[in-house]
């Protein structure tokens, strides 16, 4: 993964910690209107967001229910979905690419509303 990020790293001085945004199609967005809308909003992201895990130290936070929403048409994260299932997390699946909020917003909202009631 580090090689991929280094290839996409921005080369401008002071911005080396960022990677260039991916095209919307990479995330499974194919509707031309959505692609055009997204392209005007894309921005670089820190490349360490994937290799520096968040540490939860609060005992209260550790007791909160955990859920995973799998966007099953985006194969890159299947290993994470399997990991969540193995840990017994509440599991939901949307047959879409990574950007469910663009491709299937209503279905995503239904899941999020149900999770808010847990």
User: What are the domain boundaries of the chain?
Assistant: 1-53, 58-118
How many other β-carbons are positioned within 10 Å of the β-carbon of residue 66? Answer: 13
pLDDT-derived band of residue 8, with 50, 70 and 90 as boundaries? Answer: confident
* pLDDT score recorded for residue 3: 64
The pLDDT tens digits of the residues spanning 19-47 come to 889 999 999 999 999 999 999 999 998 98
85 secondary structure, DSSP code: H
| Contact between 39 and 63 (Cβ < 8 Å) | no
How far apart CA 71 and CA 41 sit, in angstroms, is 21
Q: What is the pTM of this model?
A: 0.82
């Amino acid at each position: 993964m580090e090689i991929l990020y280094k290839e996409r790293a921005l080369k401008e001085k002071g911005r080396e910690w960022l990677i260039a945004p991916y095209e919307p199609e990479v995330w499974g967005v194919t509707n031309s209107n959505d692609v055009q809308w997204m392209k005007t909003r894309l921005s670089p992201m820190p490349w360490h967001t994937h290799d520096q895990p968040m540490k939860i130290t609060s005992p209260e936070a550790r007791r909160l229910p955990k859920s995973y929403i799998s966007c099953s048409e985006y194969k890159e994260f299947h290993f994470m979905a399997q990991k969540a299932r193995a840990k017994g997390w509440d599991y939901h699946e949307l047959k879409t690419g990574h950007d469910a909020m663009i491709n299937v917003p209503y279905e995503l909202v239904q899941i999020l509303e149900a999770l808010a009631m847990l």
